[in-house]
Amino acid sequence: MKIAVIQGPNLNMLGVREQNIYGPMSLEQIHEQMKASASQNGVELEFFQSNLEGEIVDKIQECLGEVDGIIINPAAYTHTSIAIKDALAAVNLPTVEVHISNIYKREEFRQKSITAGSSTGVISGFGPFGYHMALIALTQILNEVKAIQEAQKKQQQA
């Protein structure tokens, strides 16, 4: 099982920027924790971060046929990017959207997620632990998809 973890703008500044909102952990520390959990469960992770919308769209498109699912924190693009929403819809992979802060307790413009409409689910407000939650959720979703596919194969062979 392979999962792409796609990080949006300014997440490379975690641990430095607005620690009162995002906490003291760096993106590298979050990724290291995710790797430890993933390796225990036989999951391979691929990490990508960009501050550029087009690069994020390109990465999502590259996921088609290469990974089983996506964990994405579109960051500020959550609230503005139809292009990222459309790319997620186009590849049609199980996707969990993650937000470190609770976007629903923040400024009004941050309370709407355009990209959530193309995601399987959204985790918001649990700090860096939200990535761990997303990994568990996506692994479960992918295991369910695999079980359904195997059952369908057995029915076709019968």
How far apart are the C-alpha atoms of 44 and 80, rounded to whole Å? 30
Q: Tell whether residue 73 is among the known ligand binding residues.
A: yes
With pLDDT > 70 as the criterion, what percentage of the chain qualifies? 97
Q: Tell whether residue 79 is among the known ligand binding residues.
A: yes
Q: Which sequence positions are flagged as catalytic?
A: 22, 99
Question: What pLDDT, on a 0 to 100 scale, did the predictor assign at position 18?
Answer: 80
The better pLDDT of the pair 30, 149 is held by: 30
How far apart are the C-alpha atoms of 66 and 20, rounded to whole Å? 37
* Predicted model pTM: 0.91
Q: Tell whether residue 3 is among the known ligand binding residues.
A: no
The residue-averaged pLDDT of 94-105 equals 90
Q: Tell whether residue 86 is among the known ligand binding residues.
A: yes
6-56 pLDDT tens trace: 999 999 999 888 877 788 789 999 999 999 999 998 999 999 999 999 999
Question: What pLDDT, on a 0 to 100 scale, did the predictor assign at position 71?
Answer: 98
pLDDT at position 109 over 90: no
Q: Tell whether residue 132 is among the known ligand binding residues.
A: no
Question: What pLDDT, on a 0 to 100 scale, did the predictor assign at position 105?
Answer: 76
3-state secondary structure the chain: CEEEEEECCCHHHCCCCCHHHHCCCCHHHHHHHHHHHHHHCCCEEEEEECCCHHHHHHHHHHHCCCCCEEEEECHHHHHCCHHHHHHHHHHCCCEEEEECCCHHHCCHHHCCCCHHHHCCEEEECCCCHHHHHHHHHHHHHHHHHHHHHHHHHHHHHC
Question: What pLDDT, on a 0 to 100 scale, did the predictor assign at position 17?
Answer: 81
Kindly list the structural domains of the chain, giving each domain's residue range(s) and its CATH number in brackets, ordered by start. 2-157 (3.40.50.9100)
